[in-house]
Homo-oligomer: A and B are copies of this chain.
Amino acid sequence: MLRRLSLALSVGIVALAPGLAAQNRKAAAPNPILRQYQAVAARIIAAATADSAAWNKLAELTDGFGNRLSGSEALEHAIDWILARMKAEGLDNPHTEPAMVPHWVRGHEKAELLEPRYVELPMLGLGGSVATPRGGIEAPVLVVSSFDELKAHAADARGKIVLFDVPFTGYGQTVAYRGVGAIEAAKAGAVAALIRAVGPFGMRTPHTGSMAPYDSTVRKIAAAAITMEDAAMLHRMQARGQRIVVRLEMEAQTLPDAPSRNVMAEITGREKPDEVVVFGGHIDSWDVGTGAMDDGGGMVIAWEAVRLLKKLGLAPRRTIRAVGWTNEENGGRGGLAYREAHRGELAKHVAAIESDGGTFKFRGFGFSGGDSAYTVVKQVAKLLTPLGADTVFAGGGGADIGPIMGEGVPGMSHNTDGSRYFWFDHTEADNVDKIDPRELAENVAAMAVMAYVLAELPERLPRGGKPVGGRER
């Protein structure tokens, strides 16, 4: 998952404009943090980028356990492995904290084009979908390009499978069809909903992902993504006046909530152990690929940052806590459980940083909080100039830290190049080979520097002031 990408990208483009860059230089204020921490930052960056430790750890995790959907054994085994490894690494206070998570299982599923010619359509049921009736559904297809077009042809949708063939223009715009396509199709009397996989490029690659909860006033119909190639082909067939018939079979079901855990470890603060910089990613994934980019890599970045600081003997003033949240993808229960378990400590949480925007070339941080803290964080980020990205965009956060941001904790997102993120997101192709070891190491460096300095600064990051980044998470 990733909610901040389109902003990060558009801001990134602005940041590249020469006029603004010049303006930036002119506006440069004195930065005491830069002078104070430049040497230690350089040391952290050098150590983080000296080897491929982060990539190798992520490869062990993803090769060893595969994908990790909430409720699966693989997820719990992965959490056990992380915990054991955190202990072996000598990190402080390695432990898990319980969370009950939704348990959706895909089961057998298949989509076939029957007319005008037989084609097996690669597909992925959408997370949260119900099953088709036993034996599947065989029905003519109505292809539409938008909700508006569906409304305009609502009379034609009754008894049909509605296919939303919506080319990718941006995640926010397109994912709406994954969210409520089944609801809108059902309102028009459709028997199932298909969407074009949400992504700008594919190689006959369906993408899964969460649907919005069904509307209790409308019939629950099964929903799945087919590939962009096949969605476009069906659309062309319809334009040629051909009758299109698809057979869809899905055995998806939602089981009772299952037990899972957040997993975490720390460097306990040497002076103020109860003040905490918390950062991490989510350890759960969809049930395809191996969840390397989304978001095993995000979790490993924070975990490796803590291991690295420990190895370097850098014990900061405050506690740094690396967390692997559970159930980001289809429930967000890990983030909620963290808030409940730590409710009493949140007033002293310095900042929360989430990496769930891919693990490509580092592009800076995003920030939501008060403007005084924003000023400080921007100064800290200047330590990252050697990594080629020392900007803090206004607006940051993440699904897992959203609940504690709601309690006033300043929230940050760790941003990376998003140009291929949605090629791989929620697909069989989200594997460690898509991640460059050097880029992953640089992400560790950026996270380690940011967390260390926020934990080490003489004064805790201030709260209050004029809000920056709104309530964006």
List A residues at the B interface (Cβ < 8 Å): 59-60, 63-66, 116-117, 119, 122, 202-205, 228-229, 232-233, 236-237, 240, 289, 423-424, 427-429, 431, 433
A119 to B116, CA, bound (A): 34
Give, as a whole number of angstroms, the nearest-CB distance from A74 to chain B: 8
The CA-CA distance from A228 to B228 in the complex, in Å, is 22
Alpha-carbon gap, A233 to B427, bound state (A): 17
A159, chain B: closest CB distance, angstroms? 25
Q: Which residues of B contact A117 (CB under 8 A)?
A: 64-66
**Contacting residues, chain B, for A205 (C-beta < 8 A):** 203-204, 429
A21 to chain B: closest CB distance in Å?
29
**CB-CB under 8 A for A229 and B63, given A203-B202, A205-B203:** no
Pair B63/A233 contact, Cβ less than 8 Å: yes
CB neighbours of A203 from chain B (8 A): 202-203, 205, 423-424, 427-429
Residues of chain B with a CB closer than 8 A to A116's CB = 64
Q: Are A228 and B66 in contact (CB under 8 A)?
A: no
Partner pick for A204 among B59, B66, B240, B289, CB 8 A cutoff = B289
Q: How far is the CA of A424 from the CA of B119 in the complex (A)?
A: 19
How many copies the complex holds: the figure is 2
Which residue of chain B has its CB nearest to the CB of A431? B229
Closest to A232 in B: B433
- How far apart are the CA atoms of A63 and B203 in the complex, in Å? 16
A207 to chain B, nearest CB (A): 11
B63 lies within 8 A of A429 (CB): no
Determine the residue in chain B with the shortest Cβ distance to A428: B204
List 9 A-B pairs, minimum CB-CB distance, nearest first. Answer: A203-B429, A204-B428, A203-B203, A229-B431, A204-B429, A203-B205, A63-B233, A232-B433, A229-B433
CA distance A202 to B433 in the complex (A): 10
Q: Which of B60, B122, B228 contacts A433 (CB 8 A)?
A: B228
Chain B nearest CB: distance from A125 CB in Å?
Answer: 17
Given contacts A203-B423, A204-B289, A233-B431, 5 further A-B contacts (CB under 8 A): A202-B203, A204-B431, A229-B431, A229-B433, A232-B433
A202 and chain B: residue at smallest CB distance: B203
Check if A236 sits within 8 Å of B63, measured CB to CB. Answer: yes
Nearest residue, chain B, Cβ from A63: B233
* 12 pairs, CB–CB < 8 Å, chain A vs chain B: A63-B237, A64-B116, A64-B117, A65-B117, A202-B203, A203-B205, A203-B424, A204-B205, A204-B289, A205-B429, A229-B429, A229-B431
| Cα-based distance from A60 to B228 in the complex (angstroms) | 17
Q: Complex formed: what's the CA distance from A64 to B423 in Å? A: 27
A289 CB contacts on chain B under 8 angstroms: 204
Residues of B with C-beta under 8 A to A66: 117, 119
Query: Which residues of chain B are near A237, meaning CB under 8 Å?
Result: 63
Complex formed: what's the CA distance from A66 to B233 in Å? Answer: 11
Which of A65, A116, A240, A423 is the most central at the interface, judged by chain B CB atoms within 10 Å of its CB? A240
Expressed in whole angstroms, the minimum distance between the Cβ of A143 and any Cβ of chain B is 13
**Distance to closest chain B CB from A157 (angstroms):** 23
- A427 proximity list for chain B (CB < 8 A): 203-204
A288: nearest chain-B partner, CB-CB? B204
Chain B residue with Cβ nearest A122: B428
Least CB distance from A458 to B in Å reads: 45
A466–chain B nearest beta-carbon distance, Å: 44
> With A and B bound together, what is the CA distance between A451 and B131 in angstroms?
57
* Residue of A203, A204, A240 with highest tally of chain B CB at under 10 A: A203
CA distance A116 to B228 in the complex (A): 34
Q: Name the B residues within 8 Å of A59 (CB-CB).
A: 236
Chain B minimum-CB-distance residue to A423: B203
Most B Cβ at <10 Å: residue of A202, A237, A427, A429: A429
What's the Cα separation between A119 and B288 when bound, in Å?
Answer: 11
Alpha-carbon separation in the docked complex, A229 to B427 (Å): 13
Q: Which residues of B contact A240 (CB under 8 A)?
A: 60
